[in-house]
Each structure stands twice: as structure tokens, then as C-alpha cells.
Amino acid sequence: MSQQMNKIYLFDTTLRDGSQGEGISLSVQDKLKIAQKLDYLGVDYIEGGWPGSNPKDLEFFRQAKRYPLCHAKLTAFTSTRRPGVDVAEDASLKAVIESGVKVVALFGKSWDLHVEKALQTSLEENLAMIRQSVGFFKRHGLEVVYDAEHFFDGFKHNRDYAVQTVLAAVDGGADWVVLCDTNGGCLPGEIETIVGEIKSQLSVPLGIHAHNDGELAVANTLAAVTAGVTMVQGTVNGLGERCGNANLCSVIPNLETKLGRQCLPDGHLARLTETARYVSEIANYKMADNQPFVGKSAFAHKGGIHVSAVLKDARTYEHITPETVGNERRVLVSELSGASNILFKAEELQLEEILRSKETSKELVQKIKHLEHKGYQFEGAEASLELQIRKALQEYREHFQLESFKVIVEKRKNQESLSEAVIKIRVEDRVVHTAAEGNGPVNALDNALRKALEEIYPVIKNMHLSDYKVRVLDEKDGTGAKVRVLIESRDAQNSWSTVGVSNNIIEASWQALLDSMDYALMMQEKEEQLMKKRASAKHDG
């Protein structure tokens, strides 16, 4: 197997080791979709699962044949043969051959404690199991990635035997030997030292498989690369059992941008954020906003002094440009904001007037700070923020006015409660008076407002509420406490968030609902204006 100079090979185990994380359950279709996305990113190996352990993984490998990969090698996972069983008769090994893959990740025991306590066999038999299992796959023409499970713990406990296990894999014909920190308890210095010692004794390239139990999986992986390994194993977003595996979304950019080691095909690093968020969506879990490199907050700036510096030179508070990994810079507006935050948001919204009016920007900053002091949170409700900015610039058109609304909640014995909202709004010279029911007071109010507006503004039919959050701001005040309501809305193309604050949850919800629909109407008007400009330019041309 030839190796590219300075190249680090990426072995992704999201579909196997990552799926062992608590709360993660991937269907066959989920795994097929993620495999295609990993191939699009440009990883070298995709470990699809253990075909000998469960029907789902067997089905995955069967269906994967219909979706050939462009770059990555699909890999099956299995263990060495069972003690006392002929290698040709071991069901798990035969299942790998039947899966049709060209690469196998074969794990074996390196720690004598595991050999004697878990396998309950002799040290000599374990060496034979490793050697014979590797040889079995090589005779069938497979590339063998040998995972030396618990290698570092085994090395620290019984150095000679741990080395014998990886030498047995090499004797069997292994193409790779991957040293595993399976318990995730090692320190980077230990990893670097041990890898350095082993590298001089083996004739095949080395890899690293680190777990994150000590919050050091990424650091340990980088230390292993520094010591000479050329394969790194890990998962997207660090998914995995217990505390997870080495996070490839941190390992890859650190290797490429800090250590100058190529991991992905040219230009593919910019696909990293897209891939991370796609895997999160398919796996149905929320990735951390503050996740390095690919998180929503990775390049978010809030403090006014920070933002002022970033606007002058982004290097002042960013270690790389967000575009390098496909992310984007965000500036948050809050009580910590200065004029620079408002100026940045104005640039995003293409509101150049505010850039020329220091007085307007100062007034707006003070208003935002005052509102945040009252409990508003604009960093999580940027649609409400844009409305505030446009109102300050007098670039806001009021689409309707509230005359009144009334919400009734009726509860009868042994029956579900029923909510009804009655609303009266004015649109120019027209008054609309209507009512609607809902499964709660906010839902009833939302339904009534929609009913009143949809005939006049049909765009309202295309949007819906996708999330509704309530936070109590003053817990000590009990049922009279002030609450913050955050609403996320979406249509076919976009999503946006709005906020309302009040001691009355209905009033807070109304504020957020009002902003949500106002924003949708404003966005439609902007789109219509843009289309008119394009049509005019085309006509003039």
C-alpha cells in the first residue's frame, strides 16, 4: 500500500463507534445518507458497522452496494476469532467476507488483563487468534486495519506482551496497526512517547484511535500524529460511547491549518461545517453551539470591544477565518454590545444609512441595552432585532394594528381544557374581527391571528411555528414572574426567531407572534422589490 507524503488518512467510525453513544440510534437509511455525506467530505475510510453482530448492519452493507462511494473505502468491523474456534469456521469473520467489503477493521486484545479476564483464554492463544484472523482476511484479498484495543493501558501494564500482540498482527499481514486508547485515560505526553517507541519496532504504518473520557481525545490524536502515525480514527462531532471519540471536526482542521498535514482533498475543508450539521440533523441530536470550528457560536462575537477589533481585523479574535471550515462569522447584539455590533448587523442587512448616523446607532444601542435589561434576548431572536433596527431607521411599515384580543380558557369536569381567542385587527381602513380555537391559549391566539391575516396577506399561509420556548426570568416571584418567549418560525426556504417579554405569558407570546408575522411580511416585500429591480434591469438591458 503506497502512502502519500505528509498525508494523514481519515478513518471515520461515526456509523459504528459513534452510533454506540447514548441517545443515538441510526436506521439503515440514516447510515446510508451519512455514508454518502462522509464520502462527499472526502474521508478515506468509512466504518459501516459490524455485520456479524446484528441484522441492521448486515442490511446496511447489503444496501450500500447500490450506492457506490466516489472516494472513501467502505469498511466492516469485527473481532478476532473466538478462542478455540477454527478461523475458517468463525461466524463473525465469515460475515465480513459475505458483506462484500474490501477493507476490514479487525480488533484484538492488547492488554493481558482483558485476555485473562474478558476472553478467559491464555496469552499464547490470544496471539494466535490475532495472527490467524489477520491472515484469514489477507487470504481473501482484504485490506486489514488492525485495531489494537486497550493498547496504551496494556503497554503500561505489560509492555512486552502489548508489543507482541501488534507484532502478531504484522506477522499475519496487517496493512495498518492502529493503537487504541480505548478507556480514554491517557495524557498527550504518554501517547507521544509510546507511539514513538512502537513506531521504531513496526514495519507497517500506524494509526490512532482515541476516546474522550479525559477530554483529551483530540489532543491525544494530534500528539500521536506528531509522533508519526498516519491514520486517525474518530467520529463526526465526537459521537461515541461514554464521553465519545476523537472529534474529527476538530482533528481535521487542526491537522490541516495548524500542522500542515493534508487530510481531505483540496478545497474540501470548507465542507466540514455542512457535514457536521448534516450528521447532527440525521442523527436527531443537537450539536453544541460552542463546538470548535463548526459550532454556531464558534465565530460569534458579543462583547463590543471584541466586535470593534474584529471589524478592523478579524485576526484579533479569530484563530482562522470561518470560511476555511465552511462556517460564518456572527455578531450578537445584547446588553454587552457597542456601536460596532450594531454597525456589523447593519452591514449584514445592507442598511448603509445607519453607518453614516452615529447618533442613530448610539440611540439604538441604548434601546437594545434597555430592552435586554428588561429580559429581551436578541442574540437568539435576530428577526426581532432586524425589526428594531428598521424601526430606528424609519424603514419599517406597519402591516396591521391590534385593536384588541381576548383569550378564554374553559375547563369542564373530566374534559380537556378548551382555548379560544377572539381578535380584532385593523389593516389600513379595514377592521377584521374573528375568532379561533386551539389546544392552548397561545395556539388559539396564533390561529386567530392567522385567520385574520391570511386573506389579506396570503404569504402567512406558507409559514408556521416550528419551536416555542418559555423561560421564567425571576423564579423568586413564582407565578407572577416575568417570562421570555422565544418563537422560531419557518417557511419553505427560511427560518427566523423572535422574542417577547412580559409578566403575562400571553402578552409575551403575542409580542413574539407579532414580530414573527411582521418579519414574514417584510421579507416578502423585500423579495418583491428585488424581483421588480431585476425585471426593470432586464427590461432596460
What's 443's domain CATH number?
A: 3.30.160
On whether both 64 and 152 belong to a single domain, the answer is yes
Q: Is residue 2 part of a domain?
A: no
Torsion sign over Cα 514, 489, 447, 396: positive
For residue 442, give its domain range. 400-456
Q: Is residue 481 part of a domain?
A: no
- Average pLDDT (481-498) is 87
Q: Is residue 375 part of a domain?
A: yes
- Average pLDDT (338-358) is 61
Specify the higher pLDDT residue, 13 or 505.
Answer: 13
pLDDT computed for residue 2 by the predictor:
43
What the block records as the C-alpha cell of 518 is 411582521
pLDDT computed for residue 144 by the predictor:
98
On whether both 348 and 419 belong to a single domain, the answer is no
Q: Is the pLDDT of residue 416 over 70?
A: yes
On whether both 258 and 349 belong to a single domain, the answer is no
What's the pLDDT band for 50 if we cut at 50, 70, 90? Answer: very high
The Cα–Cα gap between 341 and 303 comes to 8
Domain boundary residue, one of 283, 309, 337: 283
pLDDT computed for residue 284 by the predictor:
85
Q: Is residue 38 part of a domain?
A: yes
What the block records as the C-alpha cell of 517 is 408575522
Enter the DSSP assignment of 254: I
What's the pLDDT band for 343 if we cut at 50, 70, 90? Answer: low
Domain boundary residue, one of 257, 283, 309: 283
pLDDT computed for residue 312 by the predictor:
80
Which range has highest mean pLDDT (98-107, 387-396, 462-471, 510-519)?
Answer: 98-107
Q: Exposed, middle or buried, 368 (CB in 10 Å: 0-12/13-18/19+)?
A: buried
Give phi and psi for 331, each to the nearest 5.
Answer: -115, 125
Q: Is residue 406 part of a domain?
A: yes
Q: Is residue 378 part of a domain?
A: yes
The Cα–Cα gap between 217 and 227 comes to 15
pLDDT computed for residue 477 by the predictor:
64
At 222, is the secondary structure helix, strand, or coil?
helix
Specify the higher pLDDT residue, 371 or 33.
Answer: 33
Total number of domains constituting the chain: 3
Q: Which of 251, 178, 196 is nearest to 221 (CA)?
A: 251
pLDDT computed for residue 260 by the predictor:
95
On whether both 263 and 307 belong to a single domain, the answer is no
Q: How many CB atoms are located within 10 Å of the residue 541 CB?
A: 5
On whether both 59 and 125 belong to a single domain, the answer is yes
pLDDT computed for residue 117 by the predictor:
93
On whether both 214 and 355 belong to a single domain, the answer is no
Q: Is the pLDDT of residue 179 over 90?
A: yes
- Average pLDDT (357-386) is 73
Domain boundary residue, one of 283, 313, 337: 283
- Average pLDDT (367-375) is 73
On whether both 379 and 442 belong to a single domain, the answer is no
pLDDT computed for residue 529 by the predictor:
77
Specify the higher pLDDT residue, 496 or 137.
Answer: 137
At 76, is the secondary structure helix, strand, or coil?
strand
Q: Is the pLDDT of residue 352 over 60?
A: no
- Average pLDDT (358-367) is 70
- Lowest pLDDT segment from 325-329, 407-411, 477-481: 477-481
- Average pLDDT (316-323) is 93
On whether both 404 and 388 belong to a single domain, the answer is no
- Average pLDDT (481-503) is 88
Q: Please report, in angstroms and rounded to a whole number, the separation of the first and last CA atoms in the chain.
A: 59
**Model confidence pLDDT, tens digit, residues 260-303:** 999 999 999 999 999 999 999 899 888 898 999 999 889 988 76
**Model confidence pLDDT, tens digit, residues 513-524:** 999 999 999 888
Q: How many CB atoms are located within 10 Å of the residue 526 CB?
A: 12
- Average pLDDT (98-121) is 96
Q: Is the pLDDT of residue 484 over 80?
A: yes
- Average pLDDT (360-385) is 73
On whether both 199 and 345 belong to a single domain, the answer is no
- Lowest pLDDT segment from 94-103, 148-157, 459-468: 459-468
What's the pLDDT band for 479 if we cut at 50, 70, 90? Answer: low
- Lowest pLDDT segment from 94-98, 396-400, 537-541: 537-541
Count each helix (H run) and each strand (E run) in the chain, helices first.
18, 16
Q: Is residue 404 part of a domain?
A: yes
What's the pLDDT band for 1 if we cut at 50, 70, 90? Answer: very low
On whether both 66 and 197 belong to a single domain, the answer is yes
CB 102 within 8 A of CB 46: no
What's 203's domain CATH number?
A: 3.20.20.70
Give, in degrees to the nearest 5, the angle at Cα 269 between 265 and 275. Answer: 110
On whether both 431 and 310 belong to a single domain, the answer is no
On whether both 164 and 180 belong to a single domain, the answer is yes
Provide the greatest CA pair distance for the chain: 92
Q: Which of 147, 153, 138 is nearest to 214 (CA)?
A: 153
Q: Is the pLDDT of residue 11 over 90?
A: yes
Q: How does the average pLDDT of the chain come out, rounded?
A: 89
pLDDT computed for residue 357 by the predictor:
61
Q: Is residue 539 part of a domain?
A: no
